A and B are shown apart, each in its own frame.
Chain A
């Protein structure tokens, strides 16, 4: 199997295995008393039959909940939008050899700053307000991640540590902002609503639910990232630094400048994820706006193999699972089953080596190496 196919096959395998394991769990936990006939043997087979049909209904519910109707699709796509961007943020970092765990904090900072601007520009026309707010959010996320990049380049501080710490700082800053100076109303800590001009136009709506142009922005960003990674000198530099910083430096690439820049871009994407949530979905900043979507970016980048297209599909998969899980819950399967599925997928994708070994690809690769060597 070629390398390209393996990159698709591994996540697919992971999904299939995860669904299989989830099926076994659902079979066991199904609360479906079958009719009792008094005959143990018959009861047993009844149980089996009933449980399998329950499993079938569970998956059907999940699928329909995620993709079965326009409404379901819309919900999936709404959830997908920020996940694409945080996935791209983390994936871009991985490409350059940095592990940005801080997308959560960058997303929060981006959303907060963009919202502050968006609240304070009433009357500005849309074509000014929207770009200004988006750029603000990206800048805020970029600066936040850039701090970690700078620390790494100048002092060698590992980005995993510094971005985790920056996550906490961001979390405290944003929580404070929406409980004190920037708070409004009561109940959930939240900011005032943003100016009308800063609201993203709506692409599609059903009753009170609406899908904004945010998804278009996210897909466009994925496309731009693809171009950068595969078609530009800058992408070449990013990948060279990611694979072998020594060779990159030898080839005249400024490794520390590249590190800071990569981190900043990664953070800008995460910041944009938060910004679109505010401008296109909530129309304000909530303390719970990010709620783990930054961390989801890590899983999505892994499942999507750091490829922009892969990241789009991975986001669709994860958001589909989540949207579908609501429906599944109605027929009695706990929502958490989806968390289990997601965890198994990530585990298997991250443990790619394991899959490779099971499939024997490592051995074949060595064979190829050997042939190449002996041919020389």
Chain B
């Protein structure tokens, strides 16, 4: 059965109907006659690449923007939503990607904030607040300890608090904008259980994501967007990730890069007993040892903020090492400068391209020069040789498909994906023997991700040793030859991608050593239930 497009007479069965929505930003037509039909009580996914217009559509629904054209029907009634206050009145709640919670306040206080229950003296009634919140959390199976302070609870729980907040304000229609971006796989699974609970209780959920496996796992229907237009609408039972991906990108894409088995060669990067502190002076990397070999990608999986950044910066020479030893191709680089390390054959795709990867005020060709500005053929007797630089830059932006292909354009005027392609191209052009790759595809769309993944595999096949850090498990799985799981500055275990499940890796990312995870599994083998670690 294909997706049913309702007649106006059927609108009362639909929680949200958006018809012909147009939103023009000064330069982008963010929504171009978008229609959205969300049945009451369903989980409706909206998928699309970055910049497809998903958030804009939701912000229109939540009253943060006003549409240039189009109508919105809520539960069959045409509704004019002029602001979030009216959206809340119409029963719409939105959980933004960045939570809006007050750290030092408790969960209960955060949830009632703005609509606090008052006692007979018209003072804040904390008891009543806690009671209301407890009731809510019972009703919807969203378990939280109402007395905990926000700053002390993990992100997964904070997200629940955000959901409870919308429910407290009487939301019947919940919008979740990329809710799983900050979660571990376990936390994401828990979120899905919660969402199912909510729909069982009659709530309607609009779920935005660009992760296709999540769409498949949780939603009833999906609307696909691309460049401001709807490119597909389909019940989930009738589609596949591949089809969705094609609708998103508008062409065939490889979801997983193909990668030949390859024997790893000699060690190129050897880290031994490394200790590194973070900016606050706390130990962020605790006694780590590992080796990256020629022709292999060693992936480090982990939730952001578990010492990955400090590890990479320490190897690149950008951060002081407290203890330990780092060798690159047999040479001790523990205390070498970034320049010496680069010259020995280490290049680096940095985690934060705006901070480290580029000078946004520089034109593209100057950015491509970064790190080699003093070396021949780009420099001679201290003078820059612009002709050589231009030629190299032109060659690279063509090879790496940086668009628009103008080497004189300022880097800040490129889109994120093209900036990243520029950085990747530059770092590969070093012809490194070892490469640090941190979050290489953060914020990029599927097309660019595919391209960068294939490039990295190509490097590996050419014999470069790569150390990959990523928050995207999918990426770690599809690229790595070996995976190390990092938690609070330590490794929880090592595995090959074919020999570990997403669930095991998730548990290890949450702090259980892999060996223990496997022991518990062995012990409970036969039982269908798996152990859950409360995060």
A interface residues, Cβ below 8 angstroms from B: 231-237, 239-240, 243-244, 246-254, 363, 366-376
Cross-chain contact A250 with B318 (CB below 8 angstroms): yes
Cross-chain contact A252 with B360 (CB below 8 angstroms): no
Cross-chain contact B417 with A369 (CB below 8 angstroms): no
Q: Interface digits, B410-433 against A, CB 8 Å rule (1 contact, 0 not)? A: 001111011000000000000000
Q: A231-B384, A252-B338 are in contact. List 15 more A-B contacts (CB 8 A).
A: A233-B383, A237-B374, A240-B359, A243-B361, A246-B356, A247-B357, A249-B338, A250-B371, A254-B337, A254-B339, A363-B26, A369-B413, A372-B409, A372-B414, A376-B415
Q: Is B404 an interface residue (CB 8 A)?
A: yes
Cross-chain contact B414 with A251 (CB below 8 angstroms): no
Q: Which residues of A contact B26 (CB under 8 A)?
A: 363, 366-367, 370
Cross-chain contact B357 with A233 (CB below 8 angstroms): no
The size class of the interface chain B forms with chain A is: 35 or more
Q: Which residues of B contact A369 (CB under 8 A)?
A: 27, 412-413
Cross-chain contact A240 with B27 (CB below 8 angstroms): no
In chain B between 5 and 64, which residues have their CB closer than 8 angstroms to a CB of chain A?
A: 25-28, 51
Q: Is B254 an interface residue (CB 8 A)?
A: no
Q: Known contacts being A240-B370, A251-B370, A372-B413, is A232 close to B384, with CB within 8 Å?
A: yes
A298 to chain B, nearest CB (A): 21
**Complex alpha-carbon distance, A82 and B361, angstroms:** 31
Q: Which residues of B contact A239 (CB under 8 A)?
A: 362
Q: Which residues of A contact B361 (CB under 8 A)?
A: 243-244
Count A-B contacts at CB 8 Å: 101
Q: Which residues of A contact B2 (CB under 8 A)?
A: none
Those 5 A-B pairs whose CB atoms lie nearest each other, nearest first: A370-B27, A252-B339, A251-B370, A376-B415, A251-B371
Q: Is B471 an interface residue (CB 8 A)?
A: no
Q: Which of B373, B379, B384, B415 has the most CB of A within 10 A?
A: B373
**Complex alpha-carbon distance, A242 and B85, angstroms:** 45
Q: Is B350 an interface residue (CB 8 A)?
A: yes
Q: Is B477 an interface residue (CB 8 A)?
A: no
B490 to chain A, nearest CB (A): 26
Cross-chain contact B366 with A250 (CB below 8 angstroms): no
Q: Is B251 an interface residue (CB 8 A)?
A: no
Cross-chain contact A372 with B415 (CB below 8 angstroms): yes
A368, closest chain B residue (CB):
B413
B49 to chain A, nearest CB (A): 11
- A–B pairs, 9, beta carbons within 8 Å: A233-B374, A233-B382, A233-B384, A244-B361, A250-B338, A250-B356, A370-B25, A371-B27, A373-B414
B455 to chain A, nearest CB (A): 17
Cross-chain contact B366 with A252 (CB below 8 angstroms): no
Q: Which residues of B contact A248 (CB under 8 A)?
A: 359
Cross-chain contact B355 with A246 (CB below 8 angstroms): yes
Q: Is B293 an interface residue (CB 8 A)?
A: no
Cross-chain contact B362 with A240 (CB below 8 angstroms): yes
B356, closest chain A residue (CB):
A250
B304 to chain A, nearest CB (A): 19
Q: Which of A235, A369, A370, A373 has the most CB of B within 10 A?
A: A373
Q: Please pick, from A231, A249, A368, the residue contacting B318 in the complex, using a CB distance under 8 A.
A: A249
Cross-chain contact B383 with A232 (CB below 8 angstroms): yes
Q: Please pick, from A231, A246, A363, A374, the residue contacting B383 in the complex, using a CB distance under 8 A.
A: A231
Q: Known contacts being A233-B374, A233-B379, A251-B371, is A376 close to B355, with CB within 8 Å?
A: no
A229 to chain B, nearest CB (A): 11
Q: Is B369 an interface residue (CB 8 A)?
A: yes
Cross-chain contact B357 with A250 (CB below 8 angstroms): yes
Q: Please pick, from A250, A368, A375, the residue contacting B316 in the complex, using a CB distance under 8 A.
A: A250
Q: Known contacts being A236-B384, A250-B350, A366-B26, is A376 close to B339, with CB within 8 Å?
A: no
Q: Known contacts being A231-B383, A246-B355, A250-B356, is A374 close to B371, with CB within 8 Å?
A: no
Q: Which of A240, A251, A254, A372 has the most CB of B within 10 A?
A: A251
Q: Is B348 an interface residue (CB 8 A)?
A: yes
Q: Known contacts being A247-B359, A372-B404, A376-B414, is A237 close to B373, with CB within 8 Å?
A: yes
Q: Which residues of A contact B25 (CB under 8 A)?
A: 370
Cross-chain contact B366 with A236 (CB below 8 angstroms): yes
Cross-chain contact A374 with B356 (CB below 8 angstroms): no
**Complex alpha-carbon distance, A366 and B28, angstroms:** 11
**Complex alpha-carbon distance, A373 and B359, angstroms:** 18
B314 to chain A, nearest CB (A): 13
B350, closest chain A residue (CB):
A250
**Complex alpha-carbon distance, A236 and B25, angstroms:** 37
A252, closest chain B residue (CB):
B339
Q: Which residues of B contact A374 (CB under 8 A)?
A: 27-28
A253, closest chain B residue (CB):
B339
Q: Which residues of A contact B358 (CB under 8 A)?
A: 244, 247
**Complex alpha-carbon distance, A244 and B343, angstroms:** 22
**Complex alpha-carbon distance, A324 and B370, angstroms:** 47
**Complex alpha-carbon distance, A234 and B360, angstroms:** 19
B419, closest chain A residue (CB):
A376
Q: Which residues of B contact A375 (CB under 8 A)?
A: 403-404
**Complex alpha-carbon distance, A246 and B27, angstroms:** 31
In chain B between 387 and 406, which residues have their CB closer than 8 angstroms to a CB of chain A?
A: 403-404
B421, closest chain A residue (CB):
A376
**Complex alpha-carbon distance, A192 and B257, angstroms:** 81
A363 to chain B, nearest CB (A): 7
Q: Which residues of B contact A376 (CB under 8 A)?
A: 403-404, 414-415, 417-418
**Complex alpha-carbon distance, A254 and B129, angstroms:** 56
Q: Which of A248, A366, A372, A376 has the most CB of B within 10 A?
A: A376
Q: Is B196 an interface residue (CB 8 A)?
A: no
**Complex alpha-carbon distance, A237 and B337, angstroms:** 16
